[in-house]
Amino acid sequence: MRLHLSPEDQAFRQEMRTFFTTQVPQSIRDRVAARRELSKDQMIESQRVLNAAGLAVPHWPVEWGGRGWTPLQRHIWHEEMMAACVPPPLAFNATMIGPVIAAFGNQAQKERFLPPTANMDIWWCQGFSEPDAGSDLASLRTTAVRDGDTWVVNGQKTWTTLGQYADWIFCLARTDPTAEKRQRGISLLLFPMDSPGVTLRPIELIDGGHEVNEVFFEDVVVPAENLVGEENRGWDYAKFLLGNERVGVAPVAMIKRLLASAKEHAREVTVDGVPLAQDPLMAARIAELENELVALELTALRVVANSADGKPHPASSVLKLRGSELQQAATELIVDIAGPLSVASFAEDGSDVPDWARVATPSYLNYRKVSIYGGSNEVQRTIIAGSILGL
Amino acid sequence: MDFNYDSEQNDLREAVRGLLARAYPDSEQRRAVVAAEPGFDEKTWSRLAEMGLTGLPFDEADGGMGAGPVEVAIVAEEIGRVLAPEPFIEAVVLAGGLVASVGTEAQRGDVLGALAEGGLVPAFAHAEPKARWSASASGVTAVRVGDSWTLSGVKEPVPNGARADLLVVSAAIDGGTGLFLVRADAEGLTRTGYRNHDGTRSAHVRLENTPAEPLGGGGDQTPAIERALAEARIAYAHEALGAMDTALRITAEYLKTRKQFGVTLNKFQALTFRAADMYVSLELARSIALWASMVQEAGGDVVQAADRARLQVSRAGRHIGKEAIQLHGGIGMTAEYSVGQDTSRLTAIDHLLGDGDWALGRLAASVTSYETVDPLGAPYA
């Protein structure tokens, strides 16, 4: 039992901190700090800065750009990145399809896809969820039928995040409708979003933004060589992909930033001339949330410190559940601090409402998603009850 | 940064767990022990002493084992696991801890040596009927006559106060709060013991011009009391972890075996999801309790770390304790079934030295004076 980081890890933390706060363009970091959306070009630029320094895909195999770091170093990398308001590498590329191709793709696929995936020369989107396949992903109905040297894909995906920017999609499709277990008849296919027969339709969300889409496939022809791994084994790859990343499951440093800004705003907002921060109820609410975040951060550290053998720590399932709840609680707190200003979400030039108050409610509404995506909190509870408590 | 016990710490845990499992093989044994005076088992206390546990945190020069906060935490968690009623935290961590930090060399040798050998059980007489979780004293006052001191006033509830062989008493002095040793047979000392809801014992302690010996060099000891209370809060956090772990394990077992409507209760998602939430509470509390012990070991701000642990463990203890009873149904209400005992003990721990809201109030008072918390940085490490 030891509290301090080792001298090596302290030096590593300083190295990361220095890089993130000096090498990533300030305009991008300011935009993240303001909780405003980044443009496509800004996201690409940011990831390329990281990739040039070997900091975009440190968890990949070393021959494809990985760094062979310890789980604790990866945790520090992720935390420092978020603390510095650096946008993390695009999850679809860096933590989803990249590791899957590296683990299950053939040599030609690795050479063709991995370098451009790390460098955002390809922007990937995820073709998993369907209108009738959400948490129950194995019930997906999109089909791929073999036709000579090609697959022909028909069906529909939904909740395709940033699909409007994507160059390629990694897509789960049913290739054996006769399989006894429905999980067994699914394959993972890769194809360009501008393939004939692909149609994208934006979905407007409750925050007024456009980050997800519906994607329709009508007789989309995919070369057979674009199937990843083995036919009908796509479910295994999807499970690998979703369970792959234990670092950054709970975005502690990001929630820390939210709480720090909440304190700042609570000092600015006054109630009958007294700063809101001096209201005992408000101070207690912030202090309680902050303490829960300390407990979450320490749990994340316990998990990374104990996952050196590659097996996730049992407590890791706590991180997604509690991490999403605390993100939501922090965004809710900021709406409440904004109070009456929180309705002025789309105020424009000439408004006296500060930007943080304008963005507060759309952000709060947007963050309802975090307890739904990537395995809803109810799925996490099912995992804890089943795998840990044996219920 | 390392959250793992080393091999010696693992050995200690196994040894303590083994000893306590033999002493308290089931909750019936614990019930029988707390039904009789003095509310714990003197033989078990002797065995704890033989293992060195009643002198665990004290310097070897004072007759102790020279162990650190992590070892104390390990013992406390194992005590909580079986709800052993022996006053390890009350006598060793709190009363003994004050003697260790404040006492003269002679006092340390006398008191800690006898405590380590199992022959002397001290208690800290600090709580007062009209005070609420304060580090200072006002209901008992100390008067100096020549070279000697006397104390007058009431301390209550004093954990283990009737059985104690020696009282460490806090008392108002000019300019603060002093600490004094009061012998069990001291003149003008009246102790009336009773049973607490969790089976442990407390006492009403009346002092009337009772002779007392200043602990250490005298003077205001409020900072030492604050620190000793913080260290005891951390130890209680670990005792609570043991009790919560047991309550959750027993509840999960019950859900797998109890049948209603023709199926075991674990077929009902309304129940299994609540058990999952109990696990989340337990693991978050465990992280912060382990951290607080490491802060103590590293010489960081133990008072604030204890407040953080107190808040999280208070919330977790209430959540897990209440849900353990509810998920059991009627059987959880019975005195003979152990989850109710766990919940009763968790409730006592929560209120002995300051509850969650109390700790939150202290944390809230300074929350806007800093930007963010770094649990691996200042003021903790």
- Closest-CA distance, A37 to chain B, in angstroms, reads 24
Are the Cβ atoms of A1 and B295 closer than 8 angstroms?
Answer: no
Cα separation, B365 vs B381, whole angstroms:
22
ipTM of the complex in this document: 0.96
For B52, the 3-state DSSP assignment is coil
Contact residues, chain B, for A301 at CB < 8 Å: 1, 3, 287, 376
| pLDDT tops 80 at residue B64 | yes
Please, which residues 8-67 of chain A have a Cβ atom closer than 8 Å to chain B? 9
Residues of A in contact with B300 (CB under 8 A): 3
Residues B153 and B171: their CA atoms lie apart, in Å, by 9
Q: Do A1 and B290 touch (CB under 8 A)?
A: yes
Is residue A46's pLDDT more than 80? yes
Q: For position A309, what pLDDT does the model report?
A: 56
- Provide the pLDDT confidence category of residue A321 given band limits of 50, 70 and 90: very high
Q: Which of B366, B234, B376, B243 is nearest to B308 (CA)?
A: B234
pLDDT at site A312: 62
- Using pLDDT thresholds of 50, 70 and 90, give the confidence band for residue A303: confident
Q: Is the Cβ pair A287, B363 closer than 8 Å?
A: yes
Q: What is the mean pLDDT of residues B297-312?
A: 98
Instruction: Point out the residue among B248, B272, B287 whose CB comes nearest to the CB of A299.
Output: B287
Could you say which of A260, A301, A306 has the minimum Cβ distance to residue B372?
A: A260
For an interface test with B, the pick among A298, A316, A388 (most B C-beta atoms closer than 10 Å) comes out as A298
Q: How would CATH label the architecture of A246-388? A: Up-down Bundle (1.20)
Q: Which of A245, A290, A292, A325 is catalytic?
A: A245
pLDDT digits (tens, 9 = 90+) for A170-187: 999 999 999 999 899 999
Here the tokens at position A292 are 């829960």
Which residues of chain B from 296 to 315 reach within 8 Å of chain A, CB to CB?
297-298, 300, 308, 311-312
- Closest CA–CA distance from residue B138 to any residue of chain A (Å): 27
Question: How close B137 comes to chain A (CA, Å)?
Answer: 26
Residue A288 contacts B where some CB pair is shorter than 8 Å? yes
Q: Which residue has the higher pLDDT, A247 or B268?
A: B268
Q: Are A267 and A279 in contact (CB under 8 A)?
A: no
- For residue A246, pLDDT over 90 is answered with no
Check residue B375 and report its DSSP letter. T
Cβ <8 Å between A3 and B277: no
A245 as an active site residue: the answer is yes
C-alpha–C-alpha distance, residues A201 and A160, integer Å: 10
pLDDT in tens, B307-329: 999 999 999 999 999 999 999 99
pLDDT value, residue A317: 80
A124-232 CATH pick, 3.30.110.40, 3.30.360.10, 3.40.50.170, 2.40.110.10: 2.40.110.10
User: Does the beta carbon of A256 lie under 8 angstroms from any beta carbon of chain B?
Assistant: yes
Interface touch A72/B287, C-beta < 8 Å: no
pLDDT band at B129 (very low <50, low <70, confident <90, very high): very high
CATH class given for the domain over B223-369: mainly alpha
**A198-203 and A212-223 as β-strands: parallel, antiparallel, unpaired?**
antiparallel
A239 Cβ contact partners less than 8 Å away, ≥ 6 residues apart: none
Chain-chain contact of B290 with A295 (C-beta, under 8 angstroms): no
Q: Which of B1, B284, B368 sits opposite A3 (nearest CB)?
A: B1
- Residue A375's pLDDT is 85
Residue with tokens 């009773």: B194
pLDDT of residue A249: 82
Enumerate residues 330 to 389 of chain A having a beta carbon within 8 A of any beta carbon in chain B. Answer: 378, 380-382, 384-386, 388-389
pLDDT computed for residue A245 by the predictor: 60
Mean pLDDT, all residues of chain A:
94
Distance to chain B for A261, nearest Cα, Å:
8
Identity of residue B219 = G
Pick from B13, B85, B82, B26: nearest CA to B247: B82
Which residue in the set B311, B372, B376 is minimally distant from A5, CB to CB? Answer: B376
Residue with the two structure tokens 């999960």: B252
Does A259 reach chain B within 8 Å, measured CB to CB?
A: yes
CB burial string A346-374: b at 16+ within 10 A, e below:
eeeeeeebbebbbbbbbbbbbbebbbeee
Nearest residue on chain B to A266, judged by CA atoms? B368
Chain A contacts in chain B segment 269-298 (CB below 8 A): 269, 272-273, 275-277, 279-280, 283-285, 287-288, 290-291, 293-295, 297-298
Q: Residues 76-115, chain A: which have Cβ within 8 Å of B?
A: none
Examine the pLDDT at A308 and tell me if it is beyond 60.
no
CB contact under 8 A, A305 and B361: no
Segment B128-141 mean pLDDT: 96
Q: Write down the number of H helices and E strands in chain B.
A: 12, 9
CA distances from B145 to B150, B151, B167, B221 (A): 8, 11, 21, 20
Q: Is B298 exposed, middle or buried (0-12, 13-18, 19+ CB in 10 A)?
A: middle
Mean per-residue pLDDT, A17-33: 97
Domain map of chain B by residue range?
Answer: 7-120, 123-219, 223-369
Average pLDDT in chain B: 97
List phi, psi (to 5°) of B218.
80, -170
Q: Domain ranges for chain A, please list them.
A: 7-89, 124-232, 246-388
Q: Distance (Å) from the C-alpha of residue A246 to the closest C-alpha of chain B?
A: 17
pLDDT bracket for residue B1 (50, 70, 90):
confident
Partners of A259 on chain B (C-beta within 8 Å) are 372
Is residue B1 less than 8 Å (CB to CB) from chain A? yes
Asked if residues A322 and B284 have their Cβ atoms less than 8 Å apart, the reply is: yes
| Chain A residue closest in CA terms to B358 | A284
Mean predicted confidence (pLDDT) in B275-288: 98
Which residue does chain B place closest to A384, by CA atoms?
Answer: B276
Domain B123-219, CATH? 2.40.110.10
A interface test, pick of B238, B268, B287, B371 with most A CB neighbours within 10 Å:
B287
Mean pLDDT of A327-350: 97
Distance from CA of B299 to the nearest CA of A (A): 10
Please, what is the end-to-end C-alpha distance for chain A in angstroms?
32
How confident is the model over A189-207, as a mean pLDDT?
A: 97
Q: Which residues 156-185 of B are in CB contact (within 8 Å) with A?
A: none
Cβ–Cβ of B276/A263 closer than 8 Å? no
| CA–CA dist A60, A118 (Å, integer) | 10
Residue A315 above 90 pLDDT?
no
pLDDT surpassing 70 at residue A153: yes
Signed CA dihedral, A186, A192, A195, A201: sign only: positive
What is the per-residue pLDDT across A121-152, written as a single tens digit (0 to 9) for each? Answer: 999 999 999 999 998 999 999 999 999 999 99
CA closest to A73 among chain B residues: B1
pLDDT tens, B2-44? 899 999 999 999 999 999 999 999 999 999 999 999 999 999 9
Q: Please, what CATH class does the domain formed by B7-120 belong to? A: mainly alpha
Tell me how close the Cα of A168 comes to any Cα of chain B, in angstroms. Answer: 38
Question: CB under 8 Å to B42, separation ≥6 — which residues?
Answer: none
Q: How many C-beta atoms lie closer than 10 Å to residue A266's C-beta?
A: 24
Query: pLDDT value at position A305?
Result: 78
| Separation in Å, CA of A281 to nearest CA in chain B | 9
Question: CB distance from B381 to chain A under 8 Å?
Answer: yes
Distance from chain centroid for Cα B307: 14
pLDDT digits (tens, 9 = 90+) for B179-229: 999 999 999 999 999 999 999 999 999 999 999 999 999 899 999 999 999
pLDDT band at A242 (very low <50, low <70, confident <90, very high): confident
